[in-house]
Structure 1
């Protein structure tokens, strides 16, 4: 299983505004060619179900996820319900720090191909990181500052 962490700082921003932009999943496709489409299927209070189609290498990854949105805590937790991953879950956490906003994205995934994991997982990790950064730049502006990332982490389920 692979785990990534992406940390960013949005200078001179309001956390509530940043949170609203990040939770607008259908707009992600406007900011990277990797995301083909995101459809919000159902909204039930602070829980929604979304369907994702994402370009990966020469194919397409598709999944449905359940998203728990907590606007007061500025936190979004997501977990795949069904789809192409064996496992895909994670979270977004935002915080107002003075005039700035910190954004932390964490995800764990398992593509379910143990014999190819050493080859495919680093490619998937890099793609997820790059496309998440592109989405955040598009949603929040070029002023966003990404903290250097550590080496990808392997975790055991």
Structure 2
């Protein structure tokens, strides 16, 4: 089992607005190529059921999760209910930081295949961190990865590629 942490700081997006943007999961496929689809199936108050499909290695990785939205705390917790992981759970937390905010993302996952832990988990960690960082930097605007310079550099290069392709 592996736990992945990522912190992104925005100097210009206030915490409440950042929480609203982060909560809009259905936008993510437009922001990250590897995120193929996210479907919000049902919403009951602050509880949402969603289906995710992400390109991983040579094919799709699919799961359904339940998301618990806590807007007063600017927190979303989630846990897989069915899918390709043995364990997949975590949270998003948005906190004020000056005029901006810090978004913390944490996920704990396990594919349930002990013989492939050394191969799958490092690749999944890289895909998760870079995908989440890429989405957050686009959602928040004036933002940067706070706790992982390698991910920050990789995502900055990807954003430059995207900007060049649009030009």
Q: TM-score, normalised by structure 1?
A: 0.92
Q: Which runs of 4+ in 1 moved over 3 A?
A: none
> Which deviates more, 5-14 or 75-84?
5-14
| Structure 2: gaps (5+ residues) | 150-167
Quote how far apart the aligned CAs of 1:118 are: 0.6
Match of 1:153 in 2: none
Match of 1:145 in 2: 144
Match of 2:104 in 1: 104
CA distance in 2, matches of 1:52, 1:140: 22
CA distance in 1, matches of 2:137, 2:98: 21
1:63–1:82 contact (8 Å) kept in structure 2: yes
Match of 2:30 in 1: 30
1:15–1:94 contact (8 Å) kept in structure 2: yes
Q: Provide the aligned C-alpha RMSD in A.
A: 1.1
Match of 2:43 in 1: 43
Match of 1:124 in 2: 124
1:26–1:38 contact (8 Å) kept in structure 2: yes
Quote how far apart the aligned CAs of 1:124 are: 0.6
Match of 2:13 in 1: 13
1:85–1:112 contact (8 Å) kept in structure 2: yes
What are the equivalent positions in structure 2 for 1:73-84 lying under 5 Å apart?
73-84=73-84
Give the structure with the higher percent helix. Answer: 2
Q: TM-score, normalised by structure 2?
A: 0.86
> Which deviates more, 53-62 or 8-17?
8-17
Match of 2:63 in 1: 63
Quote how far apart the aligned CAs of 1:149 are: 3.0
Structure 1 residues 17-65: Cα deviation after superposition (integer angstroms, max 9, x where no partner)? 1111100001000101110000000000000000001100111000000
CA distance in 1, matches of 2:36, 2:4: 22
Quote how far apart the aligned CAs of 1:108 are: 0.3
- What secondary structure is seen at the aligned counterpart in 2 of 1:69? strand
CA distance in 2, matches of 1:56, 1:131: 11
